[in-house]
Amino acid sequence: MFENDYNRRESFSCPINVGEEYDVKIEDLGRDGDGIARVEGFVVFVPGAKVGDEVKIKINATRPKFAFGELVE
């Protein structure tokens, strides 16, 4: 039973860390208007970005299934 719980949690592990920077393409918009990018398939919400933008972002918060980033000037 514990092994299954461990595997379930492991499948939702975050592949990125707070403070890291990535070059990404904004692929979609969230319901609040935030840009959505993916890093290794992991969803990152980026306020102020528009679909089609190719930007550098810095990760400022992570959750089990998504992260938040900010635009780097």
**Distances from the Cα of 3 to the Cα of 8, 10, 11, 14, 37, angstroms:** 9, 10, 12, 19, 32
Higher pLDDT, 73 or 64: 64
Structure confidence by residue, pLDDT tens digits, 2-43: 444 444 444 457 889 999 999 999 999 999 999 999 999 999
pLDDT at 51 over 90: yes
At 14 the pLDDT is: 82
CATH number, residue 46: 2.40.50.140
pTM exceeding 0.85: no
pLDDT at 67 over 50: yes
- Find the mean pLDDT for residues 49-69: 96
Residues 15 and 22 sit within 8 Å (Cβ to Cβ)? no
Give 47's DSSP letter.
T
Our count of domains for the chain comes to 1
Domain of residue 50: give its range. 2-71
